[in-house]
Amino acid sequence: MLSNDQQQHVAEGSIAIQTKGDVTVTTTGLSYSEVRDVALDVFNANFYKLQGAAAAVAKTRAEEITEKFLRKLQKESPVGLEQSNDPDFQYALFTVQKEFARNGDVNLGDLLVDLLVDRSKQEKRDILQIVLDEALNTAPKLTESQLAVLALAFLFKYTQNTGLGNHIVLGEHFDRFVSPFVSKVVTNQACYQHIEFCGCGSISIAQVNLESVIRTTYHGLFVKGFDQKEISDRSISVGSDITFFIPCLNEPSKFQVNALNKEMLDKLFETRSVSLEDRIKITELFETSKMSDVEVKEKCVSIRGYMEDLFKSWSGSPMQNLTLTSVGIAIGHANIKRFIGEFANLSIWIN
């Protein structure tokens, strides 16, 4: 007669699975319910044993986060369920279950689910998978304020929205991507020291003010324009073609170059096969009448009043000195996705 003793001795870093009866591991894909059962078996076998109400709470939280993750994975990348027998996949899932079981923070849980879904889309061990594994372990060490800092630093320093054609759309962009985080940002030194300690970023002596970042990324929204005479005086062969010149967004009686930033202007030149001589002349006009830092700030605040708080927090903290690591980028990216649902693929920044 076989013993009913279910004790196991597991080496550090390993994962134990206990079930009643035989355990069969196959290489074929499992159904949703089977993957769920495997996931919860892994949690029950590996999470430290709590007593009384704490054990029940931990179990409920693990089930909750597992269901949330599997539903999201099934919706976004059903093929990811086929990784359920992979030890590395199980270990990553257990990390999420363990952290959510410990604190039950819904916001953290949603962030971890987004990270884990992105991680589950990676079919091979590459830099992106490694970064996401590290992000899963790091995110629980950060406060909501630190997560907000990473989201905003990532948004302004590493992304651009090429669809911002006017100030109305810019305001909508602020509402969607900035508003959820701006009130959570703090300026105390300890916040940023901990971000650096966790490997999410580094604080350098170089400062980058927010006004300069916005003006460089969205140059076309922050110019004062030039007279139409400037075009003819420079003998630009394309003339006042609306492909290249439009009424100034900030002063309709004047004109501006029809490009959001220098990168998009260069692409326009290539698309239209513009001569080198015209490129030089149009670029000179593009750099004409740029708003000052003060004017950029005033314009942004006039569009959305809460931007005043962000400018103040940015200039009054190490945020202006912060450079993100790959892990910081992954967490900032996931934190934005947590609020807006969809965002560009992380592989754009980490590849």
| Residue 235 DSSP symbol | T
The residue-averaged pLDDT of 76-94 equals 83
| Structure confidence at residue 30 (pLDDT) | 65
Segment 233-249, tens digit of pLDDT: 999 998 888 999 999 99
pTM value?
0.85
CA dist 139 and 333 (Å) reads: 12
Residues 6+ positions from 62 with CB-CB distance below 8 Å = 40, 43, 47, 97, 100, 101
pLDDT at residue 15 in the model: 45
CA distance 166 to 287: 18
pLDDT-derived band at 51, boundaries 50, 70, 90: low
- Least confident piece of the model among 198-202, 254-258, 327-331, 344-348: 344-348
- Segment 197-221 shows an average pLDDT of 95
Residue 14 banded pLDDT, cuts 50, 70, 90: very low
Distance CA 39, CA 30 (A): 12
* Ramachandran assignment for 273, one of left (phi > 0), alpha (psi -120 to 50 degrees), beta (any other): left
Query: Is 11 exposed, middle or buried, given 0-12, 13-18 or 19+ CB atoms closer than 10 A?
Result: exposed
